[in-house]
C-alpha cells in the first residue's frame, strides 16, 4: 500500500459536519491502490473498542488520488474515529497517531462536537437556479435621456473607454426576456457612481451612477425582479476605490494631515494621483484605483456599512465581491455577519480565480466565481488539451478541493466580462453548445454571461463587452432554445446542483456521467460514435435533446453524431 499517499486530517476539506448529527469524512489514497476503506467510529466518551464500522465509497479520482467518502450519523455529535484499509495484500489501520498493524485504541481522530454555529448553510434558494451576468452599459438602453456624452452606436466595437448608454431601466424592460429564459438570479457588475464604463473605480458607494439610473429605479428593478422570482446580486468593490472617492480626494488635498490618510497606503506626500502613482493601487499601478487598507477600523466600518445599506435599502439578495482575495479574512468575517444579520439568506460570492478553500470555510463567502472549473472546461471543450479521462480527473479534483456543502453554490461560468467569450474560444459552435450542456448538468450554480445564450462572440476585455444583440436575426436561435431547455431542466431537477455525481464512461473524447439520476453522454469528437454503456437505471429513459427513447436492459446502446450530447431522463 502506498502509505505516503494516504491522507486525512480533521479539517476541511476532509472532515466537516453536513447536518446537526452528520459528519462527512474524506480519505485520500493513491489512485487504484486500495481495495477498500472503512471507518470505525463512536462517541468520544464511549468505552474504547466499542466503535462500529462502515464502508467508505470511492467517490472520485483525480490524476493521482482516489477519494473515499462517508457521511456518519452521530447521535451524540462527538465523534472518535479511525480507518481500516486493505489492498488485499496488507491490512492497515490509520489514526491520528499514524499507521499501525493492530486496531488502535488511542490517538484516534477526534471531531470534538458538532456545534450548531459551525454548520455551513448556503441559502436554500440557490438550488435549481441559473445566474445571468449583466454588464449594464452593454445590455439594454432603456432611457436615452441619461446616456453619457459621446455614446457609441449600439453594435459598434467597444474600446476600453467606450460608452453605449445601457442602464437599469433597460434591464427592467428585459426582465421578461430573462424570466422567459428561466433565469433565477441576475448579477450586475458595478452600478455605483464612477467615471468609467465598468464602474470598478467607485466615486460614491452611496449613489447609483446617473447614466444607469437612481435609487428609485434600482428599487423598481429589484422589486420587478422579485415579482418574477429573480434574485439580484450587486458587485461590491472594496479592495480599492476610484480616484474620485471623497476620502482619496481629501488625502490628495490635505496630504499627511487628512483624517483619511490611513485608508490608503501612500508612500510619500504630496500624493501623485496620476501616472507613476506614489501609493498602492489595484494591480500594478492602476492609479485610478487606489488600494484600500481594509484593516483600518474606520474604513472597515465605512465599507461594511455600504454592504449593509444596499441590502437593507433596496433588498438586494447578495454581493459579488471584487478582488476578494486581496482583502483580509477578518474583514470578510465581519462583512458576512453584518450582511447576514440583515438578510440571513443573502448570497455572498467572492471573486477568487484560484484555490479558494481559505474563503470557503463557512465564515466568509458562500461561493466564488469558479474560474478553475472554467479552465478545465475550456481545456476539454475549446482547446482540446485534455481527453475525457483528463477532464474527469480535473473536475473531480476540483470537487474534492471543497467541502460538499459548498458545491451547490459554486458559480460555474464559461466566461465573464474579464475573459474572452466561450464561443470565440471554441472553434466550433457545437463545442460551445456542449460546454453549455456540461455546465447546466454539473453540480453548482451555473452562470451565463449575457449574450452567450444567443451566440455572441468576443475576445478579451474590452471585446467581450459588446452590446447585446436584440435583433432576433442576429441571434443563434438553436443555441438559445438549447439554453432554454437546459435552464428548465435545472429548475425541474434542483438537486442537479448538489453533487450526487458519478463518472459513467470515459473514452477518448467521449465523456459520460450521472448526476442526480440523470445520465449525460457527451461526444466531444468529430466522429460519429456508437457506445454500449452499462445501463444506469432500471427504468426506460428518454434523451431530452433528440427525443429518442431507450428501453430496459443491462446495456444502453447509444449513437451520437460528432459534437453532440444526450441527456437521459428516466421515465417513471
Give the residue numbers marked as catalytic.
322, 351
Minimum distance between the CB of residue 149 and Ca ion, rounded to whole angstroms?
12
| Choice between 56 and 422, CB closer to ligand ARE | 422
Residue selected from 59, 137, 351, 393 as contacting ligand ARE according to rule CB under 6 A: 351
| Choice between 292 and 479, CB closer to ligand ARE | 292
Which range, of 1-9, 53-61, 134-142, 408-416, touches Ca ion by CB under 5 A? 134-142
Minimum distance between the CB of residue 353 and ligand ARE, rounded to whole angstroms?
4
Run of H or E residues at 97 = none
Minimum distance between the CB of residue 123 and ligand ARE, rounded to whole angstroms?
23
From residue 265, give the alpha-carbon distance in Å to each of 290, 291, 510.
Answer: 8, 7, 52
Q: Hey, which residues between 213 and 242 contact ligand ARE (CB under 6 A)?
A: 237
β-pairing verdict for 510-515 and 540-543: unpaired
User: Is residue 147 near Ca ion by the rule CB under 5 A?
Assistant: yes
Are 317 and 299 contacting, i.e. CB atoms less than 8 angstroms apart?
Answer: no
Residue selected from 461, 463, 507, 516 as contacting ligand ARE according to rule CB under 6 A: 461
Q: Hey, which residues between 237 and 256 contact ligand ARE (CB under 6 A)?
A: 237
Handedness of CA 75, 516, 383, 527 (dihedral sign): positive
Rounded Cα distance between 469 and 451, Å, is: 7
Q: Among 219, 218, 199, 187, which Cα is nearest to 137's? A: 199
| Choice between 88 and 275, CB closer to ligand ARE | 275
User: Is residue 322 near ligand ARE by the rule CB under 6 A?
Assistant: yes
User: Is residue 137 near ligand ARE by the rule CB under 6 A?
Assistant: no
From residue 35, give the alpha-carbon distance in Å to each of 29, 85, 86, 396, 539.
Answer: 10, 8, 6, 20, 31
Residue selected from 418, 463, 498, 507 as contacting ligand ARE according to rule CB under 6 A: 418
User: Binding partner of residue 143 among Ca ion, ligand ARE, none, CB under 5 to 8 Å per kind?
Assistant: Ca ion
Rounded Cα distance between 232 and 347, Å, is: 10
Give the count of alpha carbons within 13 A of 64, CB side only.
6
Write out the DSSP string of 471-495. Answer: SGGGS-HHHHHHHHHHHHHHHH-GG
Q: Hey, which residues between 268 and 287 contact ligand ARE (CB under 6 A)?
A: 282-283, 286
User: Is residue 417 near ligand ARE by the rule CB under 6 A?
Assistant: yes
Q: What are φ and ψ of residue 519, in 5° steps?
A: -95, 130
User: Binding partner of residue 453 among ligand ARE, Ca ion, none, CB under 5 to 8 Å per kind?
Assistant: none
Minimum distance between the CB of residue 54 and ligand ARE, rounded to whole angstroms?
40
From residue 548, give the alpha-carbon distance in Å to each of 505, 535, 566.
Answer: 20, 16, 9
Minimum distance between the CB of residue 306 and ligand ARE, rounded to whole angstroms?
15
User: Is residue 137 near Ca ion by the rule CB under 5 A?
Assistant: no
User: Is residue 213 near Ca ion by the rule CB under 5 A?
Assistant: no
CA 556 to chain centre: 33
Rounded Cα distance between 366 and 377, Å, is: 22
Minimum distance between the CB of residue 384 and ligand ARE, rounded to whole angstroms?
20
User: Binding-site residue total for ligand ARE (CB under 6 A)?
Assistant: 16
89: which 3 cell numbers?
A: 495484500
Run of H or E residues at 295 = none
Q: Which residues contact 1 (CB under 8 A, 6 or more apart)?
A: 33, 34, 85, 87, 89, 90, 92
User: Binding partner of residue 353 among ligand ARE, Ca ion, none, CB under 5 to 8 Å per kind?
Assistant: ligand ARE
448: which 3 cell numbers?
A: 451565463
Residue selected from 51, 59, 62, 167 as contacting Ca ion according to rule CB under 5 A: 167
User: Is residue 354 near ligand ARE by the rule CB under 6 A?
Assistant: yes
Handedness of CA 525, 528, 534, 540 (dihedral sign): positive
Residue selected from 146, 196, 356, 364 as contacting Ca ion according to rule CB under 5 A: 146
Residue selected from 61, 141, 197, 537 as contacting Ca ion according to rule CB under 5 A: 141
Burial (CB < 10 A; 0-12, 13-18, 19+), residue 485, is middle
Minimum distance between the CB of residue 418 and ligand ARE, rounded to whole angstroms?
5
From residue 340, give the alpha-carbon distance in Å to each of 387, 513, 567.
Answer: 42, 36, 38
Minimum distance between the CB of residue 245 and ligand ARE, rounded to whole angstroms?
13
Interaction site with Ca ion (CB under 5 A): 141, 143, 146-147, 165, 167
Interaction site with ligand ARE (CB under 6 A): 160, 198, 200, 237, 282-283, 286, 322-323, 351, 353-354, 417-418, 461-462
Amino acid at each position: 500500500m502506498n502509505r505516503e499517499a494516504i491522507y486525512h486530517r480533521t479539517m476541511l476539506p476532509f472532515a466537516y459536519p453536513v447536518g446537526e448529527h452528520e459528519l462527512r469524512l474524506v480519505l485520500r489514497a493513491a489512485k487504484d491502490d486500495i481495495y477498500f476503506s472503512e471507518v470505525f467510529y463512536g462517541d468520544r466518551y464511549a468505552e474504547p473498542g466499542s466503535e462500529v464500522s462502515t464502508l467508505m465509497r470511492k467517490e472520485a479520482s483525480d490524476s493521482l488520488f482516489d477519494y473515499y467518502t462517508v457521511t456518519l450519523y452521530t447521535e451524540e455529535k462527538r465523534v472518535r474515529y479511525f480507518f481500516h484499509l486493505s489492498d488485499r495484500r496488507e491490512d492497515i489501520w490509520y489514526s491520528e497517531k499514524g499507521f499501525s498493524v493492530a486496531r488502535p485504541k488511542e490517538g484516534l481522530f477526534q471531531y470534538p462536537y458538532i456545534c450548531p454555529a459551525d454548520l455551513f448553510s448556503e441559502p436554500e434558494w440557490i438550488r435549481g437556479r441559473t445566474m445571468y451576468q449583466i454588464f449594464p452599459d452593454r445590455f439594454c438602453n432603456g432611457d436615452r435621456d441619461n446616456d453619457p456624452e459621446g455614446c457609441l452606436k449600439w453594435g459598434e466595437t467597444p474600446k476600453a473607454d467606450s460608452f453605449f448608454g445601457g442602464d437599469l431601466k433597460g434591464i427592467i424592460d428585459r426582465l421578461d426576456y430573462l424570466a422567459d429564459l428561466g433565469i433565477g438570479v441576475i448579477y450586475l457588475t458595478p452600478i455605483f457612481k464612477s467615471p468609467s464604463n465598468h464602474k470598478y473605480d467607485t466615486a460614491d458607494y452611496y449613489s447609483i451612477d446617473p447614466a444607469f439610473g437612481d435609487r428609485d429605479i434600482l428599487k423598481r428593478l429589484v422589486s420587478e425582479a422579485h415579482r418574477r422570482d429573480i434574485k439580484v446580486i450587486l458587485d461590491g468593490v472594496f479592495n480599492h476605490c476610484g480616484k474620485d472617492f471623497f476620502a482619496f480626494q481629501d488625502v490628495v488635498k490635505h496630504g499627511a494631515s487628512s483624517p483619511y490618510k490611513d485608508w490608503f497606503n501612500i508612500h510619500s506626500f504630496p500624493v501623485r494621483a496620476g501616472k507613476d502613482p506614489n501609493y498602492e493601487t489595484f494591480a500594478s499601478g492602476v492609479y485610478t484605483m487606489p488600494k484600500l487598507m481594509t484593516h483600518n477600523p474606520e474604513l472597515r466600518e465605512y465599507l461594511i456599512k455600504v454592504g449593509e445599506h444596499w441590502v437593507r435599502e433596496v433588498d438586494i439578495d447578495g454581493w459579488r465581491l471584487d478582488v476578494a482575495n486581496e482583502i483580509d479574512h477578518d474583514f470578510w468575517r465581519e462583512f458576512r455577519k453584518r450582511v447576514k444579520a440583515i438578510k440571513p439568506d443573502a448570497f455572498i460570492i467572492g471573486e477568487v480565480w484560484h484555490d479558494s478553500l481559505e474563503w470557503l470555510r463557512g465564515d466568509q463567502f458562500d461561493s466564488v466565481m469558479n474560474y478553475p472549473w472554467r479552465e478545465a472546461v475550456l481545456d476539454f471543450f475549446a482547446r482540446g488539451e485534455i481527453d475525457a479521462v483528463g477532464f474527469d480527473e480535473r473536475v473531480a479534483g476540483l470537487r474534492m478541493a471543497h467541502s460538499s456543502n459548498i458545491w451547490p453554490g459554486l458559480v460555474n461560468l464559461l466566461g465573464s466580462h474579464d475573459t474572452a467569450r466561450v464561443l470565440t474560444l471554441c472553434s466550433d459552435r457545437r463545442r460551445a453548445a456542449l460546454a453549455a450542456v456540461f455546465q447546466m448538468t454539473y453540480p453548482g450554480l451555473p452562470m451565463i454571461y449575457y449574450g452567450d445564450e444567443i451566440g455572441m462572440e468576443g475576445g478579451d476585455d474590452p471585446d467581450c463587452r459588446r452590446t447585446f444583440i436584440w435583433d432576433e436575426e442576429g441571434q443563434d436561435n438553436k443555441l438559445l432554445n438549447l439554453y432554454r431547455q437546459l435552464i428548465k431542466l435545472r429548475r425541474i431537477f434542483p438537486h442537479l446542483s448538489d453533487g450526487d455525481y458519478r463518472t459513467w464512461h470515459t473514452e477518448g473524447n467521449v465523456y459520460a456521467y450521472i448526476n442526480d439520476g440523470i445520465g449525460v453522454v457527451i461526444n466531444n469528437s468529430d466522429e460519429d460514435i456508437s457506445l454500449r454503456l452499462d445501463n444506469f437505471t432500471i427504468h426506460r429513459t428518454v434523451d431530452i435533446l433528440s427525443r429518442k427513447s431507450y428501453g430496459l436492459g443491462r446495456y444502453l446502446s447509444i449513437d451520437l453524431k460528432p459534437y453532440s450530447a444526450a441527456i437521459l431522463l428516466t421515465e417513471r
